[in-house]
A and B are shown apart, each in its own frame.
Chain A
Amino acid sequence: MHKYFPTQEIGSLKKPSWLLSVVKNPDISKEDKSRARNDAALLNIKMLEDLGLDVIYDGEVRRVEMYEEPVRYIKGFEFAGRVRSWDNKYYNKARITGEISYKQNFHGEEFKFIKENTKHDIKVPVTGAYTLADWSYDEHYKSKEELVLALAKNVIRPLVKDLVKLGAKIIQIDEPAATSHPSEMDVFRQSVNESVKGINAKVVVHACFSGNDYESLAPQMPEIKAQQYTLEFANRDSWNLGVNDKERKGYDVLKLFKEYGYKGEIGIGVTDVHVDRIETPKLVRDRILYSAKALGDPAKVYVNPDCGLRTRSRTVAFEKIKSMVEGAELARQTMNN
């Protein structure tokens, strides 16, 4: 029997402080650091399983960060230095100084470890070609489109194929930059389609909210070869209970997806990753029920946080996931009554 409202994570969790002190310690051997990473991955896997998530990963505990990690392994990139994200937060930004090419399956070992240590479904997050291009300095390609497609065809596609060969059944293409340039949505669509061309796995696209309420994404959704989108809604929604338009204003855009003919699944963000306040299970329930009604089919609704939870403490992140899982169960009970 189909289980309504499967629950999942988006990807990242804050790394345990003990792991950071181990990996940053120059006196600790590579082997011991590797063991510490395995321990941290195992801890995250078991935590997420115990909290009751249906689809899991390892909290991206081995990755430096979603941009810097893949860039380290792609030929053609050179790190330029750190650039401000906001205030005193910075990210390491790279230049593209030559032809882009794929060197190795840089998520292979991580995936194999997770596969060996869980019986749950696994969703592998992979940073998308469009975001990698958008967050870099291009000194080599003639246009952004050319760069994006080179990354999609020559890096992301072989990476995804290698992950599928290892047994990955769900791939999430992470594209936080996707909607930040509304005029480039055609390039974004081609980027995802080229990245997943010929692969035999479920494709999920994660796009952060960026300014125009997914209005630029909606027309592209039916044309992109993805079976699911995991999107941000909770941070624009009210905290009041209710399944009406007024209280669930954050989820109103779901109707637009339907109007544009999108028929696939939506992983709805039900917890705000920018605040410590924990959503109650009842609030999560109402967000799910409203979304199911807006999409016209409860089987299309998956449940997740808005984005990766690494901005929150581990305690807050796990509380939010717990509440999310309980809320999904309440929503199932309502559906069954």
Chain B
Amino acid sequence: MISSYTVGIYPRSEELIEATRKNSKNLSSLYLKEKKEYLAVQKRAKLGYVCDPLLEWDDIYRPFSKLKSVKLSALNRIYETNTFYRRLSFDGPLDDAGNIVKSSLAVSLLPKNRTVCIADPYTFADVHLSTKYRKREEFTLAIAKMLRKEIDALVKSGFELIQLVAPSIAYNEKVDFGIVKNAMEIITRGLKAKTILHFYFGDVSKKIEKLLDMPVSGLGFDTTLTPLSSIKKHSFSGKSLAVGIVNSYNTKLEDKQECVTDLNNIISKTKPDEIFVTTNFDLQYLPKDFAVRKILRLGEIARGVRSA
């Protein structure tokens, strides 16, 4: 089975950028208008799963600053990009989690085939701080429990596919896979939704074997950094495979036929249960016009693979 979706935060239009800078009176109506536009683009592209473009989110973690015990901290670079996020400090129990992500999404606008993107617990703990959970494992597992509450609420609201973005697992040279596995078990045990652990900002070629052992439905890759030649060395039998073949870090549009050929090749080599054609990460690294072109091209590629 072949499907498609996009990963992460979408870019704001020039009009919306200006409105957020000036805190314009019509900001909420602009957000709504633009969300609808992006949902229409995803529909036009015939993506298998549709997501909220997360236009109000300043970064993928920011909604969690609404938790009582979480404080905003300093700006920090997002890995090696020229974009920054604000570090959060988790200074107390996370009992009030459960509705943070859901309440930050336009759920009523989404079709039934809906997906959502959340940072995985390992990445979350890697890039934030805590004065309460001082050991990495303790912090990661506390985050995993918090995220599970969030995910349960999302699944109840009809989200069928949960993307867990894991750039730290890709970027960090050393990863404690024991902690990752324990955290993922908390997230996925008995969950009635598909879960894709998605890697970008680093080459995970040498980590794929260990990642295949994670209790998730499938794995996703940024193919600009983890080459297809590395992925196809592995069998994905019993797992789903998400191929982030559309590059959100360059305006250059992918060649449709080249991508279709690459994807057909990887399907035949890895034999996954299900394949997803995706962006490699957030489209917010492109201006809106280019992001829209990429979404449409993503759809064309996915349809090309289906018909091949």
Which residues does A use to contact B, with CB under 8 Å?
Answer: 80-88, 90-91, 93, 95, 134-135, 137-139, 177, 180-181, 210-211, 274
A81 adjacent to B58 (CB under 8 Å): no
How far, in Å, is A237 (CB) from chain B's closest CB?
14
Pick the interface stretch among B76-84, B90-98, B192-200, B264-272.
B76-84
* Contact between B17 and A82, CB atoms less than 8 A apart: yes
With both beta carbons as reference points, the residue of chain A lying nearest to B249 in the complex is identified as A137
Further pairs besides A85-B84, A88-B21, A177-B82: 20, Cβ < 8 Å: A80-B251, A80-B286, A81-B14, A82-B17, A83-B285, A84-B12, A86-B58, A86-B59, A86-B84, A86-B85, A86-B86, A87-B86, A88-B17, A137-B249, A137-B251, A139-B251, A139-B252, A180-B77, A181-B80, A274-B75
Task: Give, as a whole number of angstroms, the nearest-CB distance from B285 to chain A.
Answer: 6
Stretch at the interface among B32-40, B226-234, B287-295: B287-295
Q: B17 contacts which chain A residues (CB < 8 A)?
A: 82, 88, 90
Q: Enumerate 15 A-B pairs (CB-CB under 8 Å) in ascending A order.
A: A80-B251, A80-B287, A82-B287, A83-B284, A83-B285, A84-B83, A86-B59, A87-B58, A90-B17, A91-B82, A93-B287, A137-B249, A138-B250, A180-B82, A274-B75
Q: Are the C-beta atoms of B86 and A81 separated by less than 8 Å? A: no
Tell me which residues from 36 to 91 in chain B have a Cβ below 8 Å from any Cβ of chain A: 58-59, 74-75, 77, 80-86
CA–CA, A84 and B62, complex, Å: 15
Q: With A and B bound together, what is the CA distance between A116 and B82 in angstroms?
A: 36
In the complex, which residues of chain A have a beta carbon less than 8 angstroms from the beta carbon of B80?
180-181
Q: Which chain B residues (274-308) contact chain A, with CB distance < 8 Å?
A: 284-290
Please judge, given known A-B contacts A86-B83, A90-B17, whether A81 and B290 are in contact too, CB under 8 Å.
Answer: yes
Cα distance, A138 to B251, chains bound together (Å): 8
List A contacts of B82 (CB < 8 A): 85, 91, 134-135, 177, 180
- Which residue of A has the minimal Cβ distance to B78? A86
For chain B, give the interface size range: 20 to 34
**Roughly how many angstroms separate A274 CA and B86 CA in the complex, as a whole number?**
14
**A283-B195 Cα distance, complex, nearest whole Å:** 52
**Chain B positions near chain A (C-beta within 8 angstroms):** 11-12, 14, 17, 20-21, 58-59, 74-75, 77, 80-86, 249-252, 284-290
Question: In the complex the two chains form, what is the Cα distance from A82 to B21 in whole Å?
Answer: 13
Query: In the complex, what's the smallest C-beta–C-beta distance from A104 to chain B, in angstroms?
Result: 26
Report the separation of the CA atoms of residues A85 and B84 in the bound assembly, to the nearest whole angstrom.
6
| Chain B residue with Cβ nearest A131 | B82
B75 near A81 with CB under 8 A, answer: no
Given known A-B contacts A80-B290, A84-B284, A86-B84, A137 and B14 have beta carbons under 8 A apart:
no
Closest chain A residue to B290, Cβ basis: A80
- Please give me the 5 A-B residue pairs with the lowest Cβ-Cβ distance, nearest first: A81-B287, A86-B84, A139-B252, A137-B251, A88-B20
Instruction: Give which listed residue, B14, B75, B250, contacts A82 with CB less than 8 A.
Output: B14
CA distance A176 to B122 in the complex (A): 29
Chain B residues within an 8 Å CB radius of A87:
58, 86
Q: A87 to B17, alpha carbons, bound, how many Å?
A: 10
Chain A residues near B20: list those with CB within 8 A.
88
B289 touches A137 (CB 8 A): no
Task: Decide if A81 touches B288 in the complex (CB within 8 Å).
Answer: yes
Residue from A86, A137, A177, A211 in contact with B252 in the complex, judged by beta carbons closer than 8 Å: A137
Task: Find the B residue at minimum CB distance from A275.
Answer: B74
**Choice from A85, A210, A211, A274 contacting B83 with Cβ under 8 Å:** A85
Bound CA–CA A216/B123 (angstroms): 23
A134 to B12, CA, bound (A): 22
Write the chain B residue with the least CB distance to A95: B251
CA distance A83 to B10 in the complex (A): 11
Question: Chain B residues with Cβ under 8 A from A93's Cβ?
Answer: 287
Q: Are B75 and A86 in contact (CB under 8 A)?
A: yes
Residues of B within 8 A of A81 (CB): 14, 287-290
**Least CB distance, B62 to chain A, in whole angstroms:** 9
Q: Give chain A residues whose Cβ lies under 8 Å from the Cβ of B85.
A: 86
**A140 nearest in chain B by CB position:** B252
Interchain CB contact under 8 A, B11 and A83: yes
A89, chain B: closest CB distance, angstroms: 8
Residue of B nearest to A92 (CB): B287
